[in-house]
Homo-oligomer: A and B are copies of this chain.
Amino acid sequence: MSTPATITRAGGAARIAEEIGAAIVAGVYRPDELVPGELELCRRYGASRSVVREALKLLSAKGLIESRKRTGTRARSREAWNALDADVLAWRLKNGAEPKFVFDMLHMRAVVEPAAAAMAARSHTPATLAAIEEAFAEMERAANDAALYADPDRRFHKAILVATGNDFMAAFAALIEVALGMFVRIASRHAGAPAPSVPLHRAVLEAIRRRDADGAYAAMLALIDRTSRNVERNVRRAKRRT
């Protein structure tokens, strides 16, 4: 089966890991026990065992699986997953996340981001402040177009986390970026132009600029509260629809 046709011939180990990873977090393979054997996966994805095994290593590095000899490879339970890994987060969001998961994410953002804004107010440098300002400027320009608004929005939140000067806070950026990609899907589905959120972002920026840590904390908290309310409203609406 060397170089078979061209069917399903795109990624390699990464593509296979992508599919299996998504399946695991979607609950296709239940915690403890399960997961098809390597040669079955070879057949299913039309790849050699080397590639399949490399894909499995990618997943094992993220805490999704664990292999033992004779027994086979089993999906690990949710507590073992690296929930703070961007790929794992993306997989969990892929197939329509449950409300509890969305709110967990929002609660964590409500903890981390206001604190990050306060740290950024204390620690920003000309360069990191400029990155925040640049992102905000583009948000203002796109205030009437939800599609154009999403990207600078991500950059805005990321720039603040980076401006903290704290490696761990900066590491959250990868998570927040993935999460924002979903929140706009949920929160702005029924909302109009993103213009109303611009003043809230401006308040964060200005507090950071004048090194007002408490003000930045409060402004960011207000911003996330608004997102939470939007999401909550839409989740309720979706539930009513079912």
Q: Are B115 and A82 in contact (CB under 8 A)?
A: no
The reply on A84 being an interface residue by CB < 8 A is yes
A84 partner, pick from B55, B119, B168, beta carbons under 8 A: B168
The reply on A166 being an interface residue by CB < 8 A is yes
Could you say how many copies of this chain the assembly holds? 2
A112 partner, pick from B55, B62, B101, B111, beta carbons under 8 A: B111
Which residue of chain B has its CB nearest to the CB of A162?
A: B79
CA distance A170 to B77 in the complex (A): 13
Q: Are A104 and B166 in contact (CB under 8 A)?
A: yes
CA distance A169 to B82 in the complex (A): 11
List residues of chain B with CB within 8 A of the CB of A84.
82, 84-85, 168, 171-172, 175
CA distance A24 to B87 in the complex (A): 22
Report 28 cross-chain contacts, Cβ distance below 8 Å, ordered by A residue.
Answer: A13-B57, A50-B50, A53-B54, A54-B54, A54-B57, A55-B57, A57-B57, A57-B61, A58-B58, A58-B60, A58-B61, A61-B61, A78-B167, A82-B82, A82-B86, A82-B174, A83-B167, A83-B168, A83-B170, A84-B84, A84-B171, A84-B175, A101-B167, A104-B167, A107-B119, A108-B169, A111-B111, A111-B112
Q: Bits for A30-74, please: 1 = Cβ < 8 Å to B, else 0.
A: 000000000000000000001001110111111000000000000
Chain A residues bordering chain B, tally (CB within 8 A): 39
The 8 A-B pairs of least Cβ separation, nearest first, read A61-B61, A83-B171, A84-B84, A111-B115, A108-B168, A57-B57, A58-B61, A54-B57
